[in-house]
Structure 1
Amino acid sequence: MSIRKIVTIVDEIRTEGGRPVEPVARVAVVAAVIANPWAGQGFVEDLLPGIDAHASDIGALLAPRVVEALGATVEAYGKAAVVGLDGEIEHGSALIHTLKFGDHFRTAASATTLLPALEKRGPAGIVFDIPLKHITDATIRSHHQSFEVRIPDAPHPGEIVIALAAAAQGRPQQRLASLSTEQ
């Protein structure tokens, strides 16, 4: 796996709605900009060899880094793959929609739910939102959130940005009723 760069973002929200956020709301993102393993090959029917060669390694690289960057217990998490213009959205999906990738983050976060995901194709500097949900119950509304990311020089046409996001809490100042109140 050829990695051009790794980007780490840590966001702290200290006030929301004009009120202090106690404790401070933290979100961390770690993204790797990698060479697309299928770039320049035309249509690749069988993606499995590339998945086997790269998905676990990228998951093992990113999962501990995002947990460490968060510096707190992970309560919400998500993932993203942004494919450069010479690739297919399926290339990003192939790397992140496999247990070989996701189980590294589930283990690091002590999570049991599926990771919410974003996949898209775009030019360098494209903005993408990583969806996050609670690590053990995807119906917990307070933890439904997203985090906007932009890496100015990525992805190049033959690259993929693979990113993980972790939050130490739900949305700051959340006050929606539990989903169970509507059932």
Structure 2
Amino acid sequence: MQQRIPDRPDESIDLRKLVVYREAVVTEAGEAPAQPARRASVAAVIRNPWAGAGPSTDLSSEQARVAPVLAKLLTDRLITALGSVEEIESFGKAAIVGTAGEIEHAGALIHTPYFGNLVREFLQGESIICFADTRAEAGETLIVPLWHKTHAATRSHYQTISARVADAPCADEIVVIAAASTGPRPHPRIGDRTTDFAVTTETLEEVPS
């Protein structure tokens, strides 16, 4: 059965707030990067559909209802913030659960195909999406990791962006975040996982203690 994404996500997922953050790297270490990157995150503050429920509660029905709407909502805003889907090179996802919820509620919304597969498709990616999640009070800052959307071994695109909503999550809310970047870290020069030589304790003459 095809998943229908409602036209009014504010009603269908109890959306309270959307927060969009953007930044651009102008200089690093006194020089402009050869490939200046823009980064953005989009955070949706929603009511936790499982707040107050016990740990035996089945999460599947609400997961299938809410997560696809969030995937479309957040990626649409990311694409708008960064110009176009073709400009986006790396991505990441995250969630912060309010104190009346479980950390598993974060997983229910970002760690399943109802969110991850759709975010990947909407952003034209192939890589597994790296992530962060936690349970916290309002105003918590979460460091969202990013890596290349089609070549996860491309070390130049290992980077992070900080995401924070000053008044969220309330105890019965969840903040769900999608983030992306249009390029690598400034002045990347530490090699690549696909071309690195093997390093083990046997390949080194001495490992400092």
Fold-level similarity (TM above 0.5): yes
What's the offset of the Cα at 1:20? Answer: 1.1
When normalised by structure 2's length, the TM-score is: 0.84
- Are positions 1:110 and 2:109 aligned together? no
Question: Which structure is higher in strand share?
Answer: 1
- Structure 1 partner of 2:196: 181
Distance 1:171 1:24 in 2: 9
Q: Distance in 2 between matches of 1:182 and 1:163?
A: 36
Q: Who is 1:92 aligned against?
A: 106
Contact 2:140 2:164 in 1 (8 A): yes
Contact 1:63–1:164 (CA<8 Å) still a contact in 2? yes
CA shift at 1:98, angstroms?
1.2
The two structures, once aligned, show a CA RMSD in angstroms of: 1.2
**Aligned partners of 2:36, 2:164: CA distance in 1, in Å?**
23
SS of residue paired to 1:24: coil
Aligned equivalents of 1:178 and 1:23: distance in 2? 17
Q: Does 1:65 align with 2:77?
A: yes
**Larger CA deviation: 90-99 vs 104-113:** 104-113
Deviations 1:39-70 (A, max 9, x none): 12233431111111211111111111111111
Trace 1:106-145 onto structure 2 (pairs within 5 A): 106-145=120-159
> Structure 1: which 4+ aligned runs deviate by more than 3 Å?
none
Given that 1:92 and 1:160 are in contact with CA atoms closer than 8 Å, whether structure 2 keeps it comes out as yes
CA shift, 1:166, in A, is 0.6
2-side partners of 1:182 and 1:132: how far apart? 24
Q: CA deviation at 1:21?
A: 2.3
| Greater C-alpha Rg | 2
**Other-structure match for 1:159:** 173
Identical-pair percentage: 40
Q: After alignment, is 99-108 or 121-130 more displaced?
A: 99-108
- Deviation at residue 149 of structure 1 after TM alignment: 1.4
Q: What do the CA deviations read for 1:116-167 (whole angstroms, capped 9, x no partner)? A: 0111000100010111010012111001111111211111111000000010
Q: Give the secondary-structure state (helix, strand or coil) at the position aligned to 2:68.
A: helix
What's the secondary structure of 1:100's corresponding residue? coil
Unpaired segments ≥5 residues, structure 1: none
Q: Which residue of 1 aligns with 2:23?
A: 11
Give the superposition deviation at 1:169. Answer: 0.5
Contact kept? 1:26, 1:70, Cα under 8 Å:
yes
The question of whether the paired residues in 1 share the 8 Å contact of 2:36 and 2:183 is answered with no
Q: Give the alignment partner of residue 161 of structure 2, picking from 144, 147, 157.
A: 147
Alignment TM-score, normalising by the size of structure 1:
0.95
State the shift of 1:103 in Å.
Answer: 2.4
| Aligned AA (2:103) | I
What's the counterpart of residue 60 of structure 2?
48
